[in-house]
Amino acid sequence: MRIENNLLTGDKISIQNSPNISGKFSADLPDTIVIHFTGGRSARSSANWLCNPSAKASAHVVIGKEGEIIQLVPFDTIAWHAGRSQWQDRSGLNKYSIGIEIDNAGRLEQREQGYYTWFGTKVADEWVTRAVHRNESLHSYWHAFTEAQISATEQLCILLKEVYSIKTIVGHEEISPGRKVDPGPAFPLDKLRNSLIYNDRQSEDTDAFDDVLTPTATVTADALNIRSAPKASANKIAPPLAEGTSVTILERRGNWARVSTEIEGWVSSKFLKLNNKS
């Protein structure tokens, strides 16, 4: 798989043009990938819908269950996949991002006879994932992704990162929480992000610690939340750490650090200042 003139070429690639686009990205963009599930019946039916003017929606690609990729919008052109959305200091993510839609039915309904898609198709048990969504607190049932889809998504993200200097991979559920649940907990989003985005940064970050056996740092925020996992939606496990609290850094992952003080938990490393070696 290669990218030539902002279009994929290679095996299992087809092109179908969507009219649902804005102009070209600004300079230095896109720098973000947004992952979605289609919530549809098949990659072909979703691609057809996203090429229909009345859909008023599109994406750069749709990835099918065999790992086949249908490209709908060139990668230098703004597609309509994110809608109302916010990430850090940005809103309206379409103008910053490449949208990847993965053919998947989404959340399933549990009935007496088994698990069903929202459009009424029964899903075999081996394609059902029971999990808690990152924006929710109770488990529910989700349509599993195929290995071929997950692998194709990863390969595409690696390629996009090489060609477009991608710095961020997010799920639609993270930029439009409350409104969207895709790609949902059946997709290994954190794993993808950790291997493609954070591993690079982590190796840069940890260089600074090479000669420090147990780095310690001081909290610089008034009140720094300490959480059960390295993400903003994870539970707070104790009252916030006060400014000036000294912590030992046990582990780092992206912009998060697992620290130990009277308790152990994850904090945003933006609000830590490393202490000088004694």
Helix (H) or strand (E) holding 9: strand 7-9
Q: How many residues does the chain have?
A: 278
Instruction: Work out how close the CB of 271 gets to Zn ion at its nearest, in angstroms, rounded to a whole number.
Output: 31
Helix (H) or strand (E) holding 2: strand 2-4
Q: Name the token pair of 154.
A: 């990863």
Instruction: Work out how close the CB of 173 gets to Zn ion at its nearest, in angstroms, rounded to a whole number.
Output: 8
Q: Which residues, 6 or more positions from 19, have their beta carbon under 8 angstroms from its beta carbon?
A: 51, 53
Tell me the C-alpha distance between 246 and 242, whole Å. 9
Per-residue CA distances from 25 to 62, 95, 165, 176 (Å): 20, 6, 13, 21
Instruction: Work out how close the CB of 124 gets to Zn ion at its nearest, in angstroms, rounded to a whole number.
Output: 25
Where in 73-112 is the site for Zn ion (CB under 5 A)?
none
Nearer to Zn ion, 94 or 245 (CB): 94
Instruction: Work out how close the CB of 112 gets to Zn ion at its nearest, in angstroms, rounded to a whole number.
Output: 30
Find the part of the chain contacting Zn ion (CB under 5 A) among 22-30, 36-44, 140-148, 201-209.
Answer: 36-44
Find the part of the chain contacting Zn ion (CB under 5 A) among 15-23, 162-170, 180-188, 233-241.
Answer: 180-188
Nearest to 22 by CA among 71, 62, 56: 56
Find the part of the chain contacting Zn ion (CB under 5 A) among 109-117, 135-143, 156-164, 169-177.
Answer: 169-177
Q: Is 36 in the site for Zn ion (CB under 5 A)?
A: yes
The only residue of 133, 134, 143, 172 in contact with Zn ion, by rule CB under 5 A: 172
The residue ranges that bind Zn ion (CB under 5 A) are: 36, 172, 182
